[in-house]
Amino acid sequence: MNIDHIEAFLYVVHYKSIHKAANALFLSQPTVTARIKSLERELNVDLFHRDGRSVILSDKGKDFLPFATQIVQTIQQGKKQLKETQQSDEICIGTNLVTAQYFLAYALPKWKESFPHMRFQIITGSTSVILEKLQSHQIDIGFIQYVHKEGVNNELLLSNAVKLVMHQDHPFIRHTLIKAKELAKQKMVFFECGAFDWNYVHKMFEVEGVTANIEVRTDHLEVAKALIRTQEYMSFLPHLCVKKELESGEFVEINVKHLLDMNQHIFLTYMKKDTLAPAFWEMILETAVQFENVQEKLD
């Protein structure tokens, strides 16, 4: 039974006119007439009595009316439910910029392969901003540094070494076993991406009784890189962000592992695990493992 034919029947009943029903449906009058006749043939009854231009609901039509109404209402409810389900399949992810640029750029195509119906909204910001949005249910999950808050859950997702880098033509003489006092004399740009605990860096200098010469703070990776390219600045940056520059020799790493062995830890942060389907949770964790394996092979 064609739902369009039933819908035409209900419109004619409502407007008591095939002409008016056709206008309301944005169809031609012959089309509506053909749909009514097709429905009558299928039911093997006359649904209307025709008197010139007037149409009067027959007794059989009256009997069929509540069923036709129920059928159309059920279809409409089903469409509404499907629409709401599709809308709920949009996942809002809060993350720092580095994770968005590198991990999500790798992960999203893979997620779409396995879950083609899903849509993604990406919001970048600091850990505090993402946490606030998570707690106010503006986002579903966050990829941020560890947070200790009641009701907030953290699962380790990624680890990324942090390197102290400078331009290959920077005048700083690269000795072995550099001292913090020597580094404190150098101009530094701090890249504040919302995923580092810079207290570790500050403590590295405090142990020696000196303060880092931080001339610039920025939350933009390309700004940090541009300042390094002036050959005046050095910066602690995630390895993934400077991998190409290190491989090409444009940037060089300053070995400070004897002073500080720092990693950028990214956690999958959420309020309730049932926010997303279990299969998708597993997909996120599997993709993170694949991503780190790929980076290790490239290294």
The domain boundary residue, chosen from 33, 64, 87? 87
The domain boundary residue, chosen from 87, 109, 135? 87
Claim to verify: residue 105 and residue 218 sit in the same structural domain: yes
Task: For residue 157, give the CATH number of its domain.
Answer: 3.40.190.290
Claim to verify: residue 155 and residue 73 sit in the same structural domain: no
Domain span at residue 44 reads: 3-87
Q: Is the pLDDT of residue 87 over 50?
A: no
Tally of domains within the chain: 2
The domain boundary residue, chosen from 59, 87, 115? 87
Whether 93 and 120 have beta carbons less than 8 Å apart is answered as yes
pLDDT (tens digit, 9 = 90+) per residue, 216-248? 998 888 899 999 999 999 998 888 788 889 989
Q: Is the pLDDT of residue 142 over 60?
A: yes
Q: What is the pTM of this model?
A: 0.57
Claim to verify: residue 27 and residue 117 sit in the same structural domain: no
At 145, which amino acid appears?
Q
Claim to verify: residue 47 and residue 105 sit in the same structural domain: no
Tokens of 295: 């980076």
Q: How far is it, in rounded angstroms, from Cα 292 to Cα 180?
A: 31
Claim to verify: residue 211 and residue 237 sit in the same structural domain: yes
Claim to verify: residue 192 and residue 58 sit in the same structural domain: no
pLDDT (tens digit, 9 = 90+) per residue, 11-68? 999 988 898 988 988 899 999 999 999 999 999 999 998 877 778 999 998 999 999 8
Q: How far is it, in rounded angstroms, from Cα 111 to Cα 116?
A: 8
